[in-house]
Structure 1
């Protein structure tokens, strides 16, 4: 019996294609196997720890930290280089660093890498400093909302047009308060998850 040759790739159509199909199916079955069937504690430990939730919260913290740095820069410019609401720059920067370090020291990640070590204490110190700066930023923003700089209370000559509108500073303060509160709440949720598991 004469065998046909397939054009691409150069296999005989009958036997060789059947072997390729069997090999492809067995590879698909292996890759679809659940993680719990594999031997070792890495995969079982990762299923007990909500790593996906913690990573989402860490990403939220990084986004809020970067946004706080941007808003702090805008406030620094709008306030004519006064470092009132410009406190968002170091607060946001420290938040980004603390969240990045915390990703590598979280329990789900430690199951893969083999332990937290000194990184966990560094993350704690960074989060304590970031929390202090974020709380100071919230206080400063509340002061700006209650008594915006440049607001004419009727007891003096009208302000110069080059001065930033108090409304703009109030909006910046509200945005910074929102970012700081979101960061602090997500950090508290992450700390609670780490303590419970």
Structure 2
């Protein structure tokens, strides 16, 4: 039982020790600051944010198609949302945190690209999904900015889709930074 507790505790970031009065006594970490621990909890939160933004963008894109009477302007959020959910789900599945990191013997020429995925097949798949999703989100930003000048519901939908798109792209950039920084190799 203690081994299980130790295995689970190594993934936690900070530990806050409380006294009997529920006052914070001190802030400590389970690992020394010299070692880099993969921040799985932060990564999981950002991935969930991407999934929520993708699903919400998908729904807002459907509303926009209805509002625009079938035009695919703001409806670009539909494929962007679907690809975001698929890419984030795949990224969670291949994440460092679920099974712990196991060093993979790979071609030294491919070593700098290991943050893209644990295997070449998953790296190609995830990179393709994320590139397509980010491209659609970038296009959606421009279409939404153009649609902000319309009046009524379209401007409101454009503002919502812009904020969802920006959140998704910021979370993606943060996750790429985390994966590059904390890759064990």
Using the size of structure 2 for normalisation, the TM-score is: 0.70
Question: Residue 35 in 1 paired to residue 7 in 2?
Answer: yes
Which structure 2 residues correspond to residues 20-99 of structure 1 after superposition, within 5 A? 30=2, 33-35=5-7, 48-99=37-88
Aligned to 1:4: none
2:176 maps to 1:184: no
* Bigger share in helix: 1
Structure 2 match to 1:140: 143
CA deviation string 1:21-71 (max 9, x = no partner) = xxxxxx6xx368533999xxxxx9xx8111111011000000000000000
Structure 1 portions without partners, runs of 5+: 1-26, 39-43, 149-165
Which position in structure 2 is the counterpart of 1:124?
127
- Deviation per CA, 1:121-147: give whole Å up to 9, x if none: 21111111000000101100111113x
> CA–CA distance in 1 between the matches of 2:94 and 2:103?
10
The 1-side partners of 2:132 and 2:65 are apart by 21
CA separation of 1:168/1:194 partners in 2, compared to 1, >3 Å: closer, same or farther?
same
The number of equivalent residue pairs is 144
Match of 1:195 in 2: 180
How far apart are residue 111 of structure 1 and its match?
2.8
Would you identify which runs of 4 or more consecutive aligned residues in structure 1 move more than 6 Å?
none
Q: Matched residues in 1 for 2:85 and 2:179: separation? A: 19
Alignment of 1:158-173 (within 5 A): 166-173=151-158
Deviations 1:175-196 (A, max 9, x none): 0000000000001100000000
In proportion to residue count, which structure has more strand? 2
Secondary structure of the residue aligned to 1:80 is: coil
